[in-house]
Amino acid sequence: AQSVTQPDIHITVSEGASLELRCNYSYGATPYLFWYVQSPGQGLQLLLKYFSGDTLVQGIKGFEAEFKRSQSSFNLRKPSVHWSDAAEYFCAVGAGTGRRALTFGSGTRLQVQP
Amino acid sequence: GAGVSQSPSNKVTEKGKDVELRCDPISGHTALYWYRQSLGQGLEFLIYFQGNSAPDKSGLPSDRFSAERTGGSVSTLTIQRTQQEDSAVYLCASSTDQRPGYTFGSGTRLTVV
């Protein structure tokens, strides 16, 4: 069965600093990979997704993620964090066939210090 | 509509009562999902609808939970005889094709007292 691990429950960075959120997945084949962001009281917004092709994926709000098959990782990065990026971030893996449901990690809460 | 719409946004109910949560997906989206997000937890898959196929109910936690999707559009998640452990945010999502990558609604926060 597929699974996702986000090792960092909570991260605090200073505004303007770079950010990397870790995501490791377990899946038997090439997965579909996603990052979502959830602001307080809101639903989840898709930041970016990887299906195939270029392993460096660009998303909205200046985020990018890199798929590394050898490390089973799909880490999210941003070169300069803004205070508005404070939120919870979820990594997810999806199967290419079958029930097509995503498996989500437990999330990383990002706090941004001024 | 422009996005996935869920109603109500908040629901407080007494233990033992039945509740219905509604999801109106993006027009034309054939796939519809329900997830549950408990406090401080990740997302738990509940049920999946794809077109006219039989739904995948494998994530429903008990027989108190059921869902239907009428006319391939609006979906209703029903929880019978609610328990305190049912308190959570229930999220609905829809997608347009066979590959995952959903648009989520803002959710319904259910509180069972």
CA-based nearest distance A88→chain B, Å: 10
Q: Do A51 and B98 touch (CB under 8 A)?
A: no
- pLDDT tens track for B13-67: 999 999 999 999 998 888 899 999 987 677 888 998 988 888 889 899 999 999 9
For every residue of A49-113, which 3-state class applies, written as one string? Answer: EECCCCCEEECHHHCEEEEEHHHCEEEEEECCCCHHHCEEEEEEEECCCCCCCEEECCCEEEEEE
B50 interaction partners in chain A (CB closer than 8 Å): 100
- pLDDT tens track for A19-74: 999 999 988 777 889 999 999 878 889 999 998 888 999 999 999 999 999 999 99
Q: Do A100 and B100 touch (CB under 8 A)?
A: yes
Q: Do A103 and B50 touch (CB under 8 A)?
A: no
- Dihedral pair phi/psi, residue A84, rounded to 5°: -70, -10
Q: Which residues in B5-60 belong to E strands, given as ranges?
A: 5-7, 10-13, 19-24, 31-37, 43-50
Residue A43 has its nearest CB partner, among B31, B98, B105, at: B105
CB pairs under 8 A between A and B: 61
